[in-house]
Amino acid sequence: MARPRAFDETAALDAATDCFWRSGYAATSVRDLGAAMGLGAPSLYNAFGDKHALFTRCLDRYLDGNMRARIRRLESTLPPRAAIERFLEEVVARSLADPRGCLLVNTALEVAPHDAAIAELVADRLSELEGFFHRCLSVGQRDGTIAARRPARDVARLLLTTIMGLRVLARAHPEPALLKGAARQALSLLDPAAPD
Amino acid sequence: MARPRAFDETAALDAATDCFWRSGYAATSVRDLGAAMGLGAPSLYNAFGDKHALFTRCLDRYLDGNMRARIRRLESTLPPRAAIERFLEEVVARSLADPRGCLLVNTALEVAPHDAAIAELVADRLSELEGFFHRCLSVGQRDGTIAARRPARDVARLLLTTIMGLRVLARAHPEPALLKGAARQALSLLDPAAPD
DNA sequence: GGCGATCTGTAGCGGCTGCTATAGAAAATA
DNA sequence: TATTTTCTATAGCAGCCGCTACAGATCGCC
């Protein structure tokens, strides 16, 4: 029973996410956001609260749409070992193709250390990733497609560490051979033992 | 034959480095730097040029004093396998003890993507780290202390990736078991094959 | 002491920051 | 059509940004 909003909230959030993703949190001004989202500062503040709340909203959406959706897709369509392999392949491919890197990793380094609420959100998502790897490893170890001699928990932790590291390396030195070589060795932990 | 400087350049650079290290490049203002270094803006600009030049200077000093010195120390006092193990142990310990993380990693994510000169500097240092791992691996593979069935180049790349990843994880979720488990699995790539 | 040169402190430049007061535009209800 | 309610646009708040002009302080040299 009043004037409706003149903008598409989803499109606006996508535009804002791209700003934060490209430039980082601090380097993105509210004016930049307004311009990209196609709305003035008052509308922005009215609809999304302040800059920090908007960022949290964008980060949540990003993680749901990218990370969680990807985990679900891989875990439901591929056997566990292939799911792990595909995940790492996708991280390498995306790292090389998209100069923005991964918003989760960017945030873990830029925002989390100075913001307890964001740090908790990031830590939760990292645990979800670790859980994905751990589930795949456990199932794969039981069905014999993954070497069972290593503790699944620690291998999952190394895989998580590896994708973080790949994302960092790619942003300063995006060399395919480097990323692919590292990923290959991380995945070799899944192989059964070979003679020396 | 003129008025000499009233401050200690080394101490001033240390103070500036700490600012950049703690808060990042963008979030450190020239006024913050001046206050920490104990000198006014004109002295700062006269002695070190602008903010970007000062940052480059700090980063260079940091890398010489931390990374390169550490590589030299480990490589000259320890056998290759122990040097690698010690390096990873130190990364884990420092990541848990120092909330500032690693200035090289912070810079790789915050500055390098928007600054070609810094990106090149960072990429060079990453290559030096990879080279350190590669040399240790090659020697260790020859003397039999490191499994020889894996390509040293790719294992070096994974070790490099691992320390980057450990640094990222520690800043958002500094849990000892997580970092230590990941490091342990990365190091297990050096072990000879075990039965499945 | 006087001179020339370098350094330092004050003060301020234009421009940007996150955010908001105020007023006007647009739609649903009566 | 008049009213009510929400949204939007203009303009501007105080405060910070990187940087610098200017004047005064402090030294070596003559």
Helix or strand or coil: residue B8? coil
**Alpha-carbon gap, residue A30 to A15, rounded angstroms:** 12
Quick one: average pLDDT of B176-184? Answer: 98
**In angstroms, how far is CA A122 from the centroid of its own chain?**
10
Instruction: For the domain covering B62-190, report its CATH number.
Output: 1.10.357.10
Contacts of A160 in chain B (CB under 8 A): 165, 169, 178, 182
Nucleotides in chain D with any atom closer than 7 Å to protein CB: 4-12, 16-22, 25-29
Contacts of A22 in chain B (CB under 8 A): none
pLDDT value for A1: 61
Instruction: State whether residue A189 sits within 8 Å of chain B by CB.
Output: yes
> Which single residue has its CA nearest the C1' atom of nucleotide D26?
B3
Q: Which among B171, B179, B189 is the nearest to A185, CB-wise?
A: B189
pLDDT value for B196: 40
Separation in Å: D14 C1' and A35 CA: 23
The yes-or-no verdict on residue A127 having pLDDT over 80 is yes
pLDDT value for B2: 76
Condensed to tens digits (0 to 9), the pLDDT of residues B117-136 reads 999 999 999 999 999 999 99
Condensed to tens digits (0 to 9), the pLDDT of residues B143-167 reads 999 999 999 999 999 999 999 999 9
Nearest CA in chain B to A27: B26
Length of chain A measured in residues:
196
In CATH terms, A60-190 corresponds, of 1.10.357.10, 3.30.230.30, 3.40.50.620, 1.10.260.40, to: 1.10.357.10
Nearest CA in chain B to A157: B182
> How many other CB atoms are there within 10 angstroms of residue B113's CB atom?
21
> How many other CB atoms are there within 10 angstroms of residue A63's CB atom?
19
Nucleotides in chain C with any atom closer than 7 Å to protein CB: 4-12, 16-22, 25-29
Written as six digits, the tokens of A95 are 């790292």
Contacts of B179 in chain A (CB under 8 A): 157, 161
Whose CA is closest to A25, among A50, A63, A53, A55? A55
Contacts of A168 in chain B (CB under 8 A): 105, 108-109, 164-165, 167-168
The CA distance from B48 to the nearest CA of chain A, in Å, is 24
A and B: number of Cβ contacts within 8 A: 174
Condensed to tens digits (0 to 9), the pLDDT of residues B97-121 reads 999 999 999 999 999 999 999 999 9
Tell me if B24 sits within 8 A of B106, measured CB to CB.
yes
pLDDT value for A102: 98
Query: For B89, left (φ over 0), alpha (ψ -120 to 50), or beta?
Result: alpha
**Alpha-carbon gap, residue A168 to A149, rounded angstroms:** 30
Separation in Å: C18 C1' and B112 CA: 26
Instruction: State whether residue A22 sits within 8 Å of chain B by CB.
Output: no
Instruction: Indicate yes or no: strand C within 7 A of the C-beta of A1.
Output: yes
Every domain of chain A and the residues it spans:
60-190
pLDDT value for A196: 40
Q: Which residues of B, range 143-162, sit inside 8 Å of A by Cβ?
A: 147-151, 153-155, 157-158, 160-162
Which amino acid, residue A179? L
Condensed to tens digits (0 to 9), the pLDDT of residues A63-110 reads 999 999 999 999 999 999 999 999 999 999 999 999 999 999 999 999
Whose CA is closest to A168, among A78, A85, A108, A118? A108
